[in-house]
Amino acid sequence: MDFENTIGLETHVQLKTRTKMFCGCLLKTGCEPNTNVCPVCLGYPGALPVANKEAIRLTVMSGLMLGCEINRHATFDRKNYFYPDMAKDYQISENGNPLCIGGGVTIETPNGPKTIRINHIHLEEDAAKINHYAQTSGVDFNRGGTPLMEIVSEPDMASADEAIAYLTALKEILVYAGVSDCNLEEGNMRSDVNISIRPVGETRLGTKVEIKNMNTFKGIHAALEYEARRQRDCMAHSMPIVQETRRWDGEALETASMRTKENAHDYRYFPEPDLVPVALSDEQIEEWRSLLPEKPEARRMRMIEEYGIAEYDAGVLSQAKANADFFEAAAKGLDKKTAKQLCNLYMSDVMALLNASGKEIGECALAPTALRALVTMAAKGVINGPTLKELLPEVFEKGGDPEAIVKERGLGAVSDTAALEAFVDQAIAANPGPVADFKAGKKAAAGFFVGQVMKLSKGKADPKIVGPLVARKLAAI
Ligand SMILES: [Zn+2]
């Protein structure tokens, strides 16, 4: 029997706010344990929470980017559980009435584009961090109360590849919107994944297994592949698949059972009595909507149209907002042909310089106007190709105005035909051997003379003019 996978993701994203979700404590990493704490995030009895408006704005911005419907009246609930990482014995979350509902993320699959639906996005607070030492354990409440946005997808993904494509697209959109850094190493984006299998053609979902708290795309991919295989093995051997939470062991490369799945009623959710509902007006939502950036996908399409660049290049550029911003600033006012040359130079040489230096585009000395000046000078024949390639690393490293540098050092290309003709004559006169070769039918000998002219002009001759000139002179001998 053939089986298909149904995969759903619950992705926790740390929001880029200055302070915590329900108190004014600063969100800073690398501090001494329990230094950014107060009675609210330590769960003291009687301390009252106040919702962070910026966290609400960022969640709504995410919802708008993802095509969600925004709830004008979201409410908070208490999720009750006992564990040392939550001193008040409950987590404040939006259980039944979240901020954003519906929406979706479109991914590319081998069978064409596919939309992964989003069920909802809700806002909650993170738990504290438990550190384990040789003999003891300690709880660090600096992280306790960090605003988390949880994006819950529908079980619309059919493979580990689709899950990673979904997460990649989601990350791209959230970074674009400035909602989160989505830094995986720092745990800014963590996912619980659930997977079940069912016979092809069956419409009911199979028994699902959840794998908790994964923060690398590689781990998520491997865990899903493993679990899809394990569940098929169970089916093949008539063993039941148990509804449970499993843990991914990155060293053994397998999942292991942690606990059988708890149900929502185990948490005894009830409305949080200390917080008022989040009342949002249409005007407020429209104001935030007007501040949204262009989505990466839309930008990709526009850049292809506007600058005539290749689909692949537009895809790479739009993936990181900083690259796309730089390219567009540099290409401003250029015709399509020159913009395409600028794109080629960016994709090859500038990217190589970035890789080699380990820098992001915003961290190097190259200004968009400087790159535009270089490409424009080359397109107009003011400088030749070799001079462009020589100047770029220098301007990348030290900055400066390429036009002024060319003028100051006399690097302008020699395109004056009379001057070039003199070089060609000189090269021919000095090299009777290659001339004889050419006459004997070795047409490749012409390339030798182009090289000689470049040398005589100290690299400043325009090879596009020299080539035909050499051909004409040699033919006339
Ligand atoms: Zn606090």
What is the tens place of the pLDDT at every residue in 208-218?
999 988 989 99
Residues 350-358: what's their mean pLDDT? 92
CA of 115 to the centre of ligand 1 (A): 39
Mind listing the pLDDT tens digit for each residue in 118-161? 999 999 999 999 999 999 999 999 999 999 999 999 999 999 99
Query: For residue 222, is pLDDT > 90?
Result: yes
CA of 272 to the centre of ligand 1 (A): 18
Domains of the chain (ranges; CATH) run: 3-288 (no CATH), 296-409 (no CATH), 417-476 (1.10.10.410)
> What pLDDT score does 270 carry?
95
- Name the percent of the chain in helix, strand, coil, to the closest 5: 40, 20, 35
State the Cα–Cα distance between residues 348 and 309, nearest whole angstrom. 14
Question: Could you tell me the pTM of the whole model?
Answer: 0.76
CA of 23 to the centre of ligand 1 (A): 5
CA of 78 to the centre of ligand 1 (A): 18
CA of 58 to the centre of ligand 1 (A): 20
Mind listing the pLDDT tens digit for each residue in 151-177? 999 999 999 999 999 999 999 899 989
* Residue 29 pLDDT class (50, 70, 90 cuts): confident
Query: For residue 362, is pLDDT > 90?
Result: no
CA of 152 to the centre of ligand 1 (A): 27
Asked if residue 16 lies in contact with residue 180, where contact means CB atoms within 8 angstroms, the answer is yes
Helix axes 368-379, 336-345, angle to 10 degrees: 120
% of the chain exceeding 70 in pLDDT? 99
Asked if residue 34 lies in contact with residue 190, where contact means CB atoms within 8 angstroms, the answer is no
State the Cα–Cα distance between residues 423 and 243, nearest whole angstrom. 82
* Residue 43 pLDDT class (50, 70, 90 cuts): very high
> What pLDDT score does 259 carry?
78
Mind listing the pLDDT tens digit for each residue in 434-474? 888 888 888 888 888 888 888 888 777 877 788 888 888 88
* Residue 353 pLDDT class (50, 70, 90 cuts): very high
How many CA atoms, within 13 angstroms, populate the side-chain half-sphere of residue 203?
Answer: 0
> What pLDDT score does 397 carry?
92
State the Cα–Cα distance between residues 307 and 314, nearest whole angstrom. 9
* Residue 409 pLDDT class (50, 70, 90 cuts): confident
CA of 65 to the centre of ligand 1 (A): 30
Amino acid at 151: I
* Residue 432 pLDDT class (50, 70, 90 cuts): confident
For 398, other C-beta atoms within 10 Å of its C-beta total: 11
CA dihedral 33, 39, 41, 45 (to 10 degrees): 130
* Nearest alpha-carbon partner for 117 in 162, 76, 72, 75: 162
Name the strand (E) or helix (H) holding 311.
helix 311-319
Structure tokens belonging to residue 400:
């400066």
> What pLDDT score does 264 carry?
63
Q: What is the DSSP letter of 71?
A: P
State the Cα–Cα distance between residues 328 and 313, nearest whole angstrom. 13
> What pLDDT score does 476 carry?
80
> What pLDDT score does 262 carry?
66
Residues 336-343: what's their mean pLDDT? 94
> What pLDDT score does 261 carry?
59
> What pLDDT score does 25 carry?
97
* Nearest alpha-carbon partner for 63 in 19, 22, 98, 21: 98
CA of 144 to the centre of ligand 1 (A): 8
Question: For residues 222-234, b (16+ Cβ closer than 10 Å) or e, as one string?
Answer: bbbbbbbebbbee
Mean pLDDT, the chain, rounded, equals 91
| Contact partners, residue 418, CB within 8 Å, separation at least 6 | none
Burial group, residue 212, by CB count within 10 angstroms (0-12, 13-18, 19+): middle
CA of 41 to the centre of ligand 1 (A): 4
> What pLDDT score does 124 carry?
97
Residues 20-33: what's their mean pLDDT? 95
CA of 128 to the centre of ligand 1 (A): 11
CA of 37 to the centre of ligand 1 (A): 4
CA of 26 to the centre of ligand 1 (A): 8
